Amino acid sequence: MTSVRRTSLLAAAALSVAAFVAPAAAQVTLLNVSYDPTRELYVDFNAAFAAHWQQTSGQTITINQSHGGSGSQARAVIDGLDVDVVTLALEADINAIVNNSGKIAADWRTRLPNNSAPYTSTIVFLVRQGNPKNILDWGDLVRDDVEVITPNPKTSGGARWNFLAAWAWANREFGGDEAQVTDYVREVYAHVPVLDTAARGSTTTFVERGIGDVLLAWENEAFLALEELDPGAFEIVVPSISILAEPPVAVVDGNVDRRGTREAAQAYLEYLYTPEGQEIAAANFYRPSNTGGLPAEALERFPALDLITIDDPLFGGWAEAQPRFFADGGVFDQIYQ
Amino acid sequence: MAEATPPKHSARDVTTEGPVVRVVLIAIALAFAALVLILPLIVVFTEAFDGGLGTYFASLSQPDARSAIRLTLIVAAISVPANVVFGLAASWAIAKFEFWGKSFLTTLIDLPFSVSPVISGLVYVLLFGAQGIFGGWLDAHDIDIIFALPGIILATIFVTFPFVARELIPLMQEQGTEEEEAAVSLGASGWKTFLFVTLPNVKWALLYGVLLCNARAMGEFGAVSVVSGKIRGMTNTMPLQVEILYNEYNSTAAFALASLLALLALLTLALKTVLEWRFGDRITGANGH
Amino acid sequence: MTRAIFPALKRPSAIPGFGLALGFTLTYLSLIVLIPLAALVLRSAALGPAEFWQLVTSPRTLNALRVSFVCSLIAASINVVFGFVMAWVLVRYRFPGRRFVDAVVDLPFALPTAVAGIALTALYSRNGWIGSLIEPNGIRIAYTQAGIVVALTFIGLPFAVRTVQPVLEDIRRDLEEAAATLGASRAQTFLRVILPALVPAILTGFALALARAIGEYGSVIFIAGGRRDTEFAPLLIITRLEEFNYSAATAIGVAMLVISFIILLTINLIQAWSRRRFGSG
């Protein structure tokens, strides 16, 4: 009986290995490594691009997706994940790949329009229906009765935008007194009962598990929860100030040249900037970077608000902000012990 | 091990407790088993069928779910036989021969049991990751280990390493070497002796070890999650896909896939129990293990 | 070949195949287990003692090790008590469902940890079956250290039951009868005759459950949440890896390896002591 079992196991192994390997050779495959909340966006976009690519080049293309905290994903690429394009949450994570693996050329930001950010987003509050805790702005997050859900800025890109948006509000509120700003942000994290490693985990904690009073969320993630996960259970609160998040994209030069996929990878990212790509982004609640040619109703859901950028002197761009706030022993490590 | 002689209870029996104590202890044991063991199992199936049968089967036939199931089968189909071969070789060497350092070797074989699964994954990243010891060489030769099938298999073999060997070693030690020596003195070759004398003596223990090894191989999470890269449809095993679905608000689909793994666990337990009842004496030595 | 090289290290035997079997065993063991573990130790050695010590004793690492250790200790203690009751009941009493309970004790061995993790989280979170009962009373289990203890209790239970069970089966009933005949009450017999014979098995079960719990990741990750006060050591290793901080991940890994070895050594000592005292393990 044992030998029968072993033989059939081996046969199963041989068969399934064959099944596993065979389809890869017949067509072009791309691997897009992205951050957490873009799953739905790229499911839609990949289907559209595959149809487009089939039409223009005649090739069948399969695009695989990998999602996780933006920092974690960058680490996986540095560690050798064989990826063609990265679509991450912030510039600093792509820079980490540039600096630690050399697989992306240093001038990557200039190779696509809008600093290689095909869509933008911002950070808003998601609260429970009727806003029972009456949370209106950043100052309300540190009230005694409020629990805040946000992920870990060390591993999540969205969490870093959350942190900086809170910092920007406090900076304005306290007239630039850094000690008070730091105290405020420390206080916010003292109200966090669950610090997930990525944005999706935080949304699950808030939406599915019912923990916390307010979720600091990507705007797109908040809309997704609002309109698709559990309609009628949540409300979006737009704070008085937030941050302009520019999630960038780049071709991983070292890998596409070796795999011979540069042409397809380049076309894939460029397609994001076309009206079709921009409309898919808007439909998935990302703010298009190029609104030309988009119907007005695709844009009307995005509220206008006061947005600070990472290049504001307060932060000095990612090259300065990343080590100052999020490196080992940086501001976040000091306030969150 | 499973069936000791049933104790005889009578009112006068001085080697048991009063009826009240007995009932209370049984109640505590049953309540604890229900709370800790049974309830989580029930939750898995309740949540899996939350959306009805249609949703259940639709979740399982998703391409990503199917590829996760296939990957899990491949990983088990390679790592379990590898550990069977190792288990047989190790137990042959340890049980049939006396040599220096034997007990140290036995301890080393048990080592993976006491290492955190996360560390089991970490060590391969340190060896084969792009920043690891062999990373540059592997990259230059275009060989993928981490974030690909070989890494997942290696990590799985590591965590399931001792399962077969530790079932076979005590049993083969207890069976001694007389039968093998007789076969050899009658002119049988080493392979023949192994195939026709040793193997039949340990077949039930081997099956038992394979069963446990397979359950762990298909269910391993920590080690595999470190080396997988979590590419949907490519390097997600079933447990990793469960995590991804769960984090995607798709908790019904997560539990649907989890219910397959739970079924596997129940099947493993059932087979294991049957083996223990029917062949208990031929699986473990008299002392247990 | 091996036989030719180490003639004095092996007792002569009529059975062939020693060289092949041992050679294969050592090669496979080295490739799969020893060399990878050596890579971990080497990597940490490259850090230098000062940096290594600083990483291991950083407040966050110490906190994570403490969370892992304390929660594992509590879970192992719970398991020792209830595992003993279960082993006792399964060996000594007959009741309907006994065989079912006996079989299901091994569920945590067979059920994948991720499945256990999501099931326990679903049970104990605010809108779960148990969570919805206790949270209105101000008791929170999911996403607290209590949640970690719950998961580790699940994982460790079979160790506590299965180490005690066979020893309990082997205890000679005539000793209990003799004690009773000599006038001992049932409680006295239990405390003076039965319990001492079970102590090594109970300690072994405790140590095994502890060892397993300290390294556990899959079942805990879902229910722990990731606050600083629920950050357990394996999670911190993963977080450090994801933060691209290999040095810290390696240092914590080595610290955990050392803890595991100490527990393993303790188990071996308990068993050696038990063999000396009681004749068999």
Within 8 A of A67 by CB-CB distance, chain B residues are 230, 232, 244
Q: For residue C115, with 0-12 CB atoms within 10 Å meaning exposed, 13-18 middle and 19 or more buried, which class applies?
A: buried
**Through-space distance between the first and last CA atoms of chain A, rounded to whole angstroms:** 57
> Which helix or strand (DSSP H or E) is residue B268 part of?
helix B251-283
- List residues in chain A touching B: CB distance below 8 A: 1-2, 5-6, 9-10, 12-13, 16-17, 19-20, 31, 39, 64-68, 76, 78-82, 100-101, 198, 200-201, 203-204, 207-208, 229, 258
Residue A78 in this model has a pLDDT that exceeds 50: yes
For residues A167 and A336, the answer to whether their CB atoms sit within 8 Å is: no
C228 Cβ under 8 Å from any chain A Cβ: yes
Of C82, C120, C249, the CB nearest to B32: C82
Which tops the pLDDT comparison, B125 or C281?
B125
Which pLDDT tens digits describe chain B residue by residue (289 residues)? Answer: 444 444 444 445 667 788 899 999 999 999 999 999 999 999 999 999 998 999 999 999 988 899 999 999 999 999 999 999 999 999 999 999 999 988 889 989 988 988 999 999 999 999 998 888 898 888 888 888 998 999 999 999 999 999 999 999 999 999 889 999 999 999 999 899 999 999 999 999 999 999 999 999 999 999 999 998 878 788 999 999 999 888 777 889 999 999 999 999 999 999 999 998 888 877 775 444 3
Q: What is the pTM assigned to this prediction?
A: 0.86
Per-residue CA distances from B121 to A115, A277, B126, B153, C269 (Å): 37, 38, 9, 11, 29
Average pLDDT rounded to a whole number, residues A149-161: 91
Say yes or no: B9 contacts chain C, CB-CB below 8 A.
yes
A145-149, B152-156, B271-275, C263-267: least confident range: C263-267
Mean pLDDT, residues A163-180? 96
pLDDT tens sequence across C110-132? 999 999 999 999 999 888 899 99
Mean pLDDT of C245-265: 91
At residue A150 the predicted structure's pLDDT band, cuts being 50, 70 and 90, is: very high
- Report the distance separating Cα C234 and Cα B116, nearest Å: 7
Contact C18 B44 (CB under 8 A): no
Q: What ipTM did this prediction achieve? A: 0.90
Model pLDDT, residue A301: 86
Which residue among B32, B157, B254 places its CB closest to the CB of C32?
Answer: B157
Sorted by sequence, the CB contacts under 8 Å of residue A162 that are 6+ apart come out as A123, A150, A151, A153, A216
Contacts of A195 in chain C (CB under 8 A): 225-228
Q: Is the pLDDT of residue A147 over 50?
A: yes
Taking CB atoms and an 8 Å cutoff, what residues of chain A touch B244?
67
Q: Using the beta-carbon criterion (under 8 Å), do A198 and B77 form an inter-chain contact?
A: no
Residues A221-237, mean pLDDT to the nearest whole number: 87
The pLDDT assigned to B139 comes to: 81
Instruction: Count A/B contacts: CB-CB distance under 8 Å.
Output: 90
Which secondary structure element, helix H or strand E, spans residue B178, and what is its range?
helix B178-185
- Using one digit for the tens of pLDDT, what is the confidence trace for C183-217? 888 888 889 889 998 999 999 999 999 999 999 99
| Dist. CA B139–CA A77, nearest whole Å | 12
Angle among Cα A115, A117, A121 to the nearest 5 degrees reads 130
Quote the CA–CA distance of C49 and A49 in Å, as a whole number.
Answer: 53
B144 touches B234 (CB < 8 A)? no
pLDDT of A144? 94
The mean pLDDT value of chain A amounts to 88
pLDDT of residue C279: 61
**Residue C256 predicted with pLDDT over 70:** yes
Looking at residue B244, its pLDDT comes to 87
Grade residue C272 by pLDDT with cuts at 50, 70 and 90.
confident
Q: Is the pLDDT of residue A191 over 50?
A: yes
Q: Do A209 and C126 touch (CB under 8 A)?
A: yes
Instruction: Out of A25-29, A252-256, B38-42, B46-50, pick the least confident.
Output: A25-29
pLDDT of residue A72: 81
Q: Can you read off the two tokens belonging to residue B140?
A: 């230059």
Are the CB atoms for A33 and A76 separated by under 8 Å? yes
Question: What are the pLDDT digits (tens) for C23-79?
Answer: 999 999 999 999 999 999 999 999 999 999 999 999 889 999 999 999 999 999 999
Tell which wins on pLDDT, A312 or A195: A312
pLDDT at A3: 42
Where does residue B207 fall: left (phi above 0), alpha (psi -120 to 50 degrees), or beta otherwise? Answer: alpha
**Alpha-carbon dihedral sign for residues C135, C138, C144, C147:** negative
pLDDT of residue A2: 40
List the 223-262 stretch of B: residues with Cβ below 8 A of C: 225-226, 238-240, 242-243, 246, 251, 254-255, 258, 261-262
What pLDDT is attached to residue B14? 67
With a cut of 90, say whether residue A291 has pLDDT above it: no
pLDDT of residue A210: 81
Minimum mean pLDDT range among A294-308, A321-335, B51-65, C190-204: A294-308
- B99 phi and psi, to 5 degrees? -150, 165
Pick from A155, A188, A204 the residue to mutate for testing the C interface (most C CBs within 10 Å): A155
CA A34 to chain centre: 7
Rounded to the nearest integer, the mean pLDDT of chain C is 90
Structural domains of chain C, ranges and CATH numbers in brackets? 14-46 (no CATH), 51-278 (1.10.3720.10)
Say whether A337 and C59 touch across the interface (CB within 8 A): yes
